[in-house]
A and B are shown apart, each in its own frame.
Chain A
Amino acid sequence: SAVISQKPSRDICQRGTSLTIQCQVDSQVTMMFWYRQQPGQSLTLIATANQGSEATYESGFVIDKFPISRPNLTFSTLTVSNMSPEDSSIYLCSDEGAEGAFYGYTFGSGTRLTVV
């Protein structure tokens, strides 16, 4: 299965600023996903990123707040813009895996974001 390198692993940011999170996959994958995990909660899908097309956002998430880039089949970024304390969460990226969905989704190690 693929290995995903995610960075930064954690950051403390001032409100009103932006943070860009990067995920690098060690193989080419069609679909990548970005999740938010609020403290003590489950994972909520933010958006699906396909290479060469606009990301598809889930209800409650908008591109202006969470712009996503997917410049090639091994890389994606998520930016958390104009941050507020409510954005303090763990953010995770994942991919479906080159072998298909059944073989499980591989996740990055997560970014713990604290907004002060």
Chain B
Amino acid sequence: AQTVTQSQPEMSVQEAETVTLSCTYDTSESDYYLFWYKQPPSRQMILVIRQEAYKQQNATENRFSVNFQKAAKSFSLKISDSQLGDAAMYFCAYGGSEKLVFGKGTKLTVNP
């Protein structure tokens, strides 16, 4: 079965600085998707960024980018120019042939 590990329960960053959230996963599948979701206190799960495994190019969405290392099974999220609105729980998720599998999440605090 696939597993997703987020080793940082909590992270903090100063406003306007850059922070990287870590995620590793384990799978025997060759074709899959990886996602980062943001969950603010409102509880809404918001898709931040997605990556398809066969694409070597790292995905980028405005201030959010990933470092996808397929061989290492690593999928980290970099947030540049952090804003107060970025404060939330961030979940890494794996989507393959079966169900979506989530990591335990990283709570990001943004300090003004």
A104-B50 contact, Cβ under 8 Å, with A41-B104, A42-B91, A43-B102: yes
Q: CB within 8 Å of B: which residues of A?
A: 1, 33, 41-43, 45, 48, 58, 90, 92, 94, 101-107, 109-110, 112
Among the listed stretches B21-29, B37-45, B68-76, B79-87, which one makes contact with chain A, having 4 or more residues with CB under 8 Å of it? Answer: B37-45
Chain B residues whose CB sits within 8 angstroms of the CB of A94 once the complex forms: 45, 100
A109-B99 contact, Cβ under 8 Å, with A43-B91, A104-B35: no
Of A42, A90, A103, A105, the contact of B104 (CB 8 Å cutoff): A42
| Chain A: CB-nearest residue to B48 | A104
Asked whether, in the complex, the Cβ of B44 is within 8 Å of the Cβ of A104, the reply is no
Interface size class of B (residues with CB under 8 A): 10 to 19
| Chain A: CB-nearest residue to B52 | A102
Sample of 20 A–B contacts (CB below 8 Å): A1-B47, A33-B99, A33-B100, A42-B91, A42-B102, A42-B103, A45-B99, A58-B99, A92-B45, A94-B45, A94-B100, A101-B33, A101-B95, A102-B50, A102-B52, A105-B100, A109-B42, A109-B43, A110-B44, A112-B43
Interchain CA distance A47-B53 in the complex, whole Å: 26
Interchain CA distance A43-B91 in the complex, whole Å: 9
Asked whether, in the complex, the Cβ of B47 is within 8 Å of the Cβ of A104, the reply is yes
Asked whether, in the complex, the Cβ of A109 is within 8 Å of the Cβ of B100, the reply is no
| Chain B: CB-nearest residue to A92 | B45
Chain B residues whose CB sits within 8 angstroms of the CB of A103 once the complex forms: 50
Interchain CA distance A36-B102 in the complex, whole Å: 12
Q: Most chain-B CB neighbours within 10 Å: which of A1, A41, A103, A105?
A: A105
Asked whether, in the complex, the Cβ of A102 is within 8 Å of the Cβ of B99, the reply is no
A98 CB to closest chain B CB (Å) equals 15
Chain A residues whose CB sits within 8 angstroms of the CB of B42 once the complex forms: 109
Q: Most chain-B CB neighbours within 10 Å: which of A42, A90, A92, A112?
A: A42
